[in-house]
Structure formats: structure tokens, C-alpha cells
A and B are shown apart, each in its own frame.
Chain A
Amino acid sequence: MSQPKVSFKYFLRFKKHGTAIWISHLDMVRTFQRIFMRAGLSIVFSEGFNPHPKMVFAVPLPLGASSDCELLEFRLEQERSPDYILQRMRGVCPPGIEIFSVENAERKFTDIRYASYDVYFSREDMEYLPAIVRRFNELDTAVVMKKTKSGEKEKDIKPSVGSVELTDFGIKAVLSVDSENFLGPELFMTALNSVGAQLGLAPVKYEAVARRKMLLQDMKSEF
């Protein structure tokens, strides 16, 4: 066994929008690996037969969603100032990936407990939303079928919902990102639509979804 190499851990924060929202999670890993290469920064790879870059995205983002608050943890072989890293990386990103800060990683991603999403709807769907959201907020439980490794399972997603508010564009929702209680915007929509179905309404479909903030346990402070 070789000695574990000394490495330096950083966070970077970036926005994902425009055409970049169609880059899947797996492709994001490769995309960032190449951004680091172009920037001339040596990231640390795992040991073993098939080394992969040691990179962790804080919270998975669904394909097609944009974000103002993506977080990536990575390790460099050399110690560099966050400013230097930011300068090197900024000019070599594909359109729609906008890195806006780099910092030394002193905290842990596990501190992130919630994320806040803006969910956008068409004019027609907006008409049904107030009734659905009101009913949803009154309920104690919201059971949906969740796909798991071994088929489908019933799950109450209500404990994973921090808050749901109506806005002029649709809904602002704070959802759990805990590994235990993770709730993505898609499953959340399924829950809303099953409430809608109980009210005799046709399913609504969001036109766009944007993650705005990564939040701590208090649902207010940003990570």
C-alpha cells in the first residue's frame, strides 16, 4: 500500500443554467474533471485499478433543473489560494457553468439539511395551484409510491417538506436533502398531484425548476 498522499480540500460554488441544465450528474463529474485539467490544477484521484477523481457534489440536482447554489468538494495535490483557483477555472468553463467562489473546505456538506426550490408553472396550471397547495399544507401525511432497488414502496414525504408557499410564478418549496429523508422536486410534484387528484383536478406539470439556496437545519441560514 502506498502512503496516502497529502492533499488540500476545497469547496467551489457554481451556478448551473442555460444549456448546461441538461448535463447529467455523471457527465458533470467528467465535465469538471476536464475543467480542472484545462485550468492546470491537479486534482487528487482515488487509488486502485480504475482511478476516479475525488469530487463530491453536495446535493444531486435533477436533469433539466437550474441552480444558483451548486457546491462541489474537491482535493488538490498542491496547496493553492482559493482566489488563484477561481481565476484559473473561470475562463475554462462551458457556457452555463458559472463558478462564483472557491473556499477552503472547513465545513461538512452534511450540515446542509434543506434546499429551497422555485417551481415555475404555466398560466393554466397556476389556476389549480392555490387549492392544491392549501390542501397539501393541511394534510398530516402525504403518501407516494417511491421507486427503490426492490420495486416500489409507499413513503410518507410530509416530514421531508419544510414549507410550500404560493408565489406569482408558482411555488416556492423547501425540501429535505438529508440522505434519509431526501425529497427531490419530481417526487414532491407527484405528491402534489395525488392531492390534486383527490380534489378532482388534472395533474399539473412544472415548466422549469430552479434551486435557489442550500439551507441548514433552521431552514433559514444558508450554507
Chain B
Amino acid sequence: MVEIDNILPLVSKPGRYSGGEYNICIKDKNAVKLRFAFCFPDSYEIGMSNLGMQILYHCLNSESDVWCERVFAPWTDMEQEMRKNGTPLFAHESRDPVKDFDIVGFTLQYELCYSNVLNMLDLAGIPIYARDRGEECPVIIGGGPCSYNPEPIAEFFDIFSIGEGEEALPELSRLMIEMKENGTYTREAFLRKAASLGGFYVPSLYEVKYNENGSIASFEPIYDDVPAIVKKRVISDFNDPKFIPTKPYMPFIDTVQDRITAEISRGCIRGCRFCQAGHVYRPIRERDVDVISDAAKKTFENTGYSEISLSCLSVSDYTRVDELCDTLLDWTNEKSVSLSLPSLRADSFTRELMEKSGAIRSSGLTFAPEAGTQRLRDVINKCLTEDDLMNAVGIAFDAQKTSVKLYFMNGLPTETDEDTVGIADLAHKVIDKFYATPNRNRHRQPQVTVSVACFVPKPFTPFQWEAQVTRAELERRQKLLRDSIHSRKIRYNYHSADVSYLEAVMARGNRTLAPVIAEAHKRGIKFDAWDEYFDYDKWMECFDACGVSTDFFACREIPEDEILPWDFIDCGVSKKYLLKERHKAYEGKASHSCKDGCGGCGADKMGECICRNQK
């Protein structure tokens, strides 16, 4: 156990490190057979808000002889004190050093956390490169959205868990326990066995060869018993209550999400062509109304939270959304628990839904048209019309709402200046709609917030081959949009092109990025997801120092026959389908949703999918 009581008074928000939160899992460390350190490579507040970590903590701790604990990236003031005192990275439940654990898992939620992963390993006293780790080191495993292209960080990890971890991580733990008990455990033997367990990728067991231009020439397993294709894991039964945490740990300090999060579905019926989540989380599964309500009620009793937030990619696409809300409201009203429905789509937005959700109390609503013109919305398959949006904001304005937030993207494939200016036009039309609503709020001015992200081509999307437009061009389009907004009732925010550029490099990178990320760590880069720490120039110096081209990964259109770094992963959705969708995009044709008939993406081979009902 490390001593931190002496440094807690010296740092901001000591509640980030003190532990002792309600509902955490405490076990006798001498009575368990395996200790799992689950690391979130960002601040405590972000990590404690993550549902995936909550679920896997629950699933691992359901194994009586496994003890899973939480680890977060200490904020910079805490890190400074820890390094000064020689305090290693520790787990929050036991305050034992992470180095003493059997398995150390990192959840990789966004590319900009990679520098933090290395910093945490370093702070733990664990060699950052997998090849430098000895028998006494824990096994380092990664998972989460970024593991759909783990290649840039492949050399830092021993294993990646691909897909859903609820069953996979306990299985991996059981394998280690078994091998340690029967005396067959060595690092090498374990990794080799893990590779054939299904859903686990062991980077050291594959050899990558490159062409002269830097593209991949071949990607092969080194041994015959190592699978060439790693198939992602999907849980056996999305309705099984054993996968739903009903005693979630609760932070004392203020965090981003501090409420009951009820997961209602996985996957998305829409298939927006830029969206990774919409593809890799397929097959599309909806949890039963009763299962959701029972779990939420138990969670309420175990926590005392006064708010429930429904979680999925698109709440209004949940087939029985009205029945679900009514079932929940039946008991939540009585307990004074409020219900909030984020991610509502403008084309399925109704007054009833708005009234059922906590949105009735807030002054605004959020919609995501993503593109400014119908042409471009068809290209990206965001099947939302201007009429849909006007109808939705009309409902909101009629219900006395005065503010609307609209999400868009800049730099989408085929985007022209007309599309960019179209974003401003749409925002102006929303303002006009406010004044055209007879029953509008007469006491307040309308406000439209236009928030524009930059397109980042992501693996396993129909746009995975697309080039990102250059930073200079993105900045020109951002300025064009700014100059096209003429109303002071429109607020305009946009993401930094620098950040999106680095994201694109990492998202489509390969193993040649490892030395660059290691160099970035060496130069003290960390917390890249935080504006106050992100340092573009410093990153570019690292790429230069290692002689690695960033444009090659971000701004190059990848030929369709080139081997992609992530081709060895089978995420369910086939490459053939992604290509078909890409070609449809260039024809300006949208695809129908999975509820209107199966689109043939291939994910249904992995388990029950909503499209089965349509076949």
C-alpha cells in the first residue's frame, strides 16, 4: 500500500485520489487469485463517468476470486507530488502499486489518450514497450473503441481485447488463474494461449511488412495456431441481468456523469457513413423494457441517485421508446427521480417524448444535422431533412424553449463551399422558425448554437479510405462559415483543426507510429484531450524527430485494394459492405435504416440483430 495521506493536502481536489466511494468493491487481497487494475487514461472525473468501465468492473468483480480495482491518470499536480515522493501509480481501492497486479487493463476511448497511457505505465514503473517486460511484470491489455485500430500503440500492449469485454475479460482472467495454478504460466505461454481464446489480439505474434511507400505489404501471424483474423466478441445475451451493474460506484466529487445510466441498446440502425460507433457496435440489440426498468430501479435503491439517463446511440430509435418511458415514469415520478433522454433525433422527435424527458425543464434542445445541405446529408447517410429539423425545433419553440444547439461537421467527403455556407443558412432558418412560431416564448430571445467538428476518417466506416482535408483548408472553411453567419443570435463554436489532424493520424496509423508516441511521452506530452495541455507543435517535432510523415496517415486517400492496418479485425460489418456504402456516397445516395430492411452489413452473423425481424 502506498502512502498518499501526506501529499493529499498539497493537491487540488484530493477527492480524486482518496478512494472510499460508495459501492466500490473491496476484497481480501490474500483470498483472491487474480488482481486486475482497470485503468482509465484520463482524469478521475472523466473516467468515473464512463459506463464501459462501470460494466467491466462489475463483471470482473462478479468472479469471486478476481479483484478488479480502478486506476486513473493523476492530474499533473498530483503526478508532480508522486514523482517527488517516489510514489508509484496506485489502484484506488487498495492503494497498492499497479505494478503488483496480475493484469493491467486500459480502456482506450479516444486517440488523444495514448500519451497518458505511456505516462501511466511509466508512473507505475512498468516498461512502456511490451518487448522490454519481464516475467515479473503484469500483462498489459487494451480495449475500447480505439482497439478497432490498435496498431499505433500495438508495441506498448501485450494483448488487446476486441469487442465487448463482459465475458472476454473474465475468461482471460480464468485462463491466467488456471495457468498459474497448474504451473504452466509463463508470459509467453499465456499470450500464445490468449491469442486462440477468441477476441484477443496479441501484437507480438504477428509480423508486419511494409512496401516502399510505407503502406502495408503483408500482415501475418508468426505461428500456425495464431488466428490470421481476430473476430470481435459480442456478449451472449444482451438481456442477461448479470451484465448490468446495479451497484455502481459513486464519486463524492462532481463528475461529468453522476446519475443512473441505463443502457437501452447497442448498435445503431442508421449507419451514418462517418460514424465508427454506428458500425462497430453492431449487431443492433435492444434491451427489454422490463429488464431496463428493473435494473434502473435496483440501481436507484442502491445509489439514491435522483436522475436516470438513457444511454445508447439514438434514444428515439429504440422501438418501444414510449412504452419504456411510461414504464420508467411509473415509479420514477413517485420517487422524484427525473428521466433524461439525450441523443434524440430530429426526425423522430415528438412533443410526447420531449415532455416525458427531463428536457421539459431545460431551456434548450440539441440536434445533429451534421451537414448543411440535403445533398451532403445524403452523401453521409444522415437521413434527416430540413423539414424534419424545422418540425422538431417548431415543437421545441412552441413548448417555450428558446435555445437550440446544432452539431455539424466540416471537411466531409465531397463537401463544397455551398455545403459550408448551408450550415449558416440552416441556423438562420431556425431563428426564422422561432419568430414564425405563434405560441413562442415572448420573454426571451432565441439562441442557436452551431457547433462544428472536423471530419476524421475512422476505421470500419464507409469513409475509412477518405483523405482528411488539410488543416489550412479546414481553417479556410471554418472562416467561410463564420463570415456567413449574420445573426447575433447564432453562436458559433468549432473544433481545432490541429487536434482533428492528430486524431486522424492516430486513427489510421500503423506500427510505425510507436516511436513517435514514445518520443512524445519522453518529451513530457500528456493530457492531449485537454486544450490547456494539447501542444500541436511539440507533437509535430516528435514526428519530425522520428522521420514519420503525418500527411501519409491523415491526408492520403487510401486505395481500396491497399491492406489497411486494421484489416486483421473482423468487427462484423464486412469490407464489401463498407465499400458499397462508400460508392453510394459518391452517387449521393442514402441507404435506408436497418429497421426498413436489412442492408446486408454482415454483423448479424455475430448474433441476434434487429434486422432479423425484417428478413
Write the chain A residue with the least CB distance to B18: A22
A94-B20 contact, Cβ under 8 Å, with A27-B15, A64-B8: yes
CB distance from B29 to the nearest CB of A (A): 17
Asked whether any CB of chain B lies closer than 8 Å to the CB of A35, the reply is: yes
Partner of B15, one of A24, A36, A37: A24
Q: Which A residues are CB-close (under 8 A) to B326?
A: none
Partner of B303, one of A18, A19, A27, A38: A38
Write the chain B residue with the least CB distance to A51: B336
Q: Which B residues are CB-close (under 8 A) to A131?
A: none
Asked whether any CB of chain B lies closer than 8 Å to the CB of A126, the reply is: no
Write the chain A residue with the least CB distance to B17: A22
Interface string of B7-30 (1 = CB under 8 A from A): 011000011001111100000000
Asked whether any CB of chain A lies closer than 8 Å to the CB of B387, the reply is: no
Q: Which B residues are CB-close (under 8 A) to A63?
A: 14
A34-B303 contact, Cβ under 8 Å, with A19-B19, A23-B15: yes
Q: Which A residues are CB-close (under 8 A) to B302?
A: 38
Q: Is the CB of B253 within 8 A of A36?
A: no
Write the chain B residue with the least CB distance to A26: B254
Asked whether any CB of chain B lies closer than 8 Å to the CB of A33, the reply is: yes
CB distance from A91 to the nearest CB of B (A): 12
CB distance from A57 to the nearest CB of B (A): 15
Q: Which A residues are CB-close (under 8 A) to B210?
A: none
A33-B304 contact, Cβ under 8 Å, with A19-B18, A19-B20, A22-B14: yes
Complex CA distance for A34 and B258, rounded to whole angstroms: 12
Write the chain A residue with the least CB distance to B8: A22
Write the chain A residue with the least CB distance to B305: A34
Q: Which B residues are CB-close (under 8 A) to A22?
A: 8, 14-15, 18, 252
Q: Is the CB of A23 within 8 A of B304?
A: no
Q: Which B residues are CB-close (under 8 A) to A96?
A: 20
Interface string of A2-37 (1 = CB under 8 A from B): 000000000000000011111110010011011111
Q: Is the CB of A38 within 8 A of B301?
A: yes
Q: Which residues 283-323 in B have Cβ within 8 Å of A in the complex?
A: 300-306
Q: Is the CB of B304 within 8 A of A37?
A: yes
Asked whether any CB of chain A lies closer than 8 Å to the CB of B250, the reply is: yes
Q: Is the CB of B303 within 8 A of A23?
A: no
Q: How large is the interface on B (under 10, 10 to 19, 20 to 34, 35 or more residues)?
A: 20 to 34
Asked whether any CB of chain B lies closer than 8 Å to the CB of A95, the reply is: yes
Complex CA distance for A36 and B18, rounded to whole angstroms: 23
Write the chain A residue with the least CB distance to B9: A64
Q: Is the CB of B306 within 8 A of A37?
A: yes
CB distance from A23 to the nearest CB of B (A): 5
Q: Which B residues are CB-close (under 8 A) to A34?
A: 22, 250, 303-305
Q: Which B residues are CB-close (under 8 A) to A38?
A: 301-304
Partner of B304, one of A27, A35, A207: A35
Complex CA distance for A192 and B437, rounded to whole angstroms: 67
Partner of A27, one of B6, B254, B300: B254
Complex CA distance for A60 and B15, rounded to whole angstroms: 17
Complex CA distance for A17 and B8, rounded to whole angstroms: 15
Complex CA distance for A11 and B472, rounded to whole angstroms: 64
Interface string of A53-93 (1 = CB under 8 A from B): 00000000001100000000000000000000000000010
Write the chain A residue with the least CB distance to B253: A27
Complex CA distance for A21 and B15, rounded to whole angstroms: 9
Q: Is the CB of A64 within 8 A of B14?
A: yes
Complex CA distance for A218 and B435, rounded to whole angstroms: 68
CB distance from B10 to the nearest CB of A (A): 10
CB distance from A49 to the nearest CB of B (A): 9
Q: Which A residues are CB-close (under 8 A) to B18?
A: 19, 21-22
Write the chain B residue with the least CB distance to A19: B20
Complex CA distance for A151 and B418, rounded to whole angstroms: 54
Partner of B252, one of A27, A37, A64: A27
Complex CA distance for A35 and B304, rounded to whole angstroms: 7
CB distance from A144 to the nearest CB of B (A): 20
Q: Which B residues are CB-close (under 8 A) to A27?
A: 15, 252-254
Q: Is the CB of A94 within 8 A of B21?
A: yes
CB distance from B437 to the nearest CB of A (A): 24
Q: Which A residues are CB-close (under 8 A) to B306?
A: 33, 37
User: Which of A19, A21, A27 gathers most chain B CB within 10 Å?
Assistant: A19
Partner of A20, one of B9, B20, B250, B300: B20
Complex CA distance for A54 and B5, rounded to whole angstroms: 33
Complex CA distance for A38 and B298, rounded to whole angstroms: 11
Write the chain B residue with the least CB distance to A18: B20
Q: Which B residues are CB-close (under 8 A) to A24?
A: 15, 253
Complex CA distance for A24 and B8, rounded to whole angstroms: 13
User: Which of B6, B9, B253, B304 gathers most chain A CB within 10 Å?
Assistant: B304
Interface string of B231-264 (1 = CB under 8 A from A): 0000000000000000000101110000000000
Q: Is the CB of A94 within 8 A of B22?
A: yes
Write the chain A residue with the least CB distance to B251: A27
Complex CA distance for A207 and B3, rounded to whole angstroms: 13
Complex CA distance for A96 and B20, rounded to whole angstroms: 8
Q: Which B residues are CB-close (under 8 A) to A95?
A: 20
Complex CA distance for A31 and B18, rounded to whole angstroms: 15
Q: Which A residues are CB-close (under 8 A) to B305?
A: 34, 37
Q: Which A residues are CB-close (under 8 A) to B21?
A: 94
Complex CA distance for A37 and B253, rounded to whole angstroms: 18
Write the chain A residue with the least CB distance to B304: A37
Q: Which A residues are CB-close (under 8 A) to B8?
A: 22, 64
Q: Which A residues are CB-close (under 8 A) to B6?
A: 207
CB distance from A90 to the nearest CB of B (A): 14
Q: Which A residues are CB-close (under 8 A) to B20?
A: 18-20, 94-96
20 A-B contacts (beta carbon < 8 Å): A19-B20, A20-B20, A21-B18, A22-B15, A23-B15, A24-B15, A24-B253, A27-B253, A27-B254, A33-B306, A34-B22, A34-B303, A36-B304, A37-B300, A38-B304, A64-B14, A92-B304, A94-B21, A95-B20, A96-B20
Given contacts A20-B20, A23-B15, A64-B9, list 6 more A-B pairs with CB under 8 A. A24-B15, A27-B252, A34-B304, A35-B304, A37-B306, A64-B8
- Interface residues of chain A, those whose CB is within 8 Å of chain B, are 18-24, 27, 30-31, 33-38, 63-64, 92, 94-96, 207
A-B pairs with lowest CB-CB distance, top 4: A19-B20, A37-B304, A34-B304, A22-B18
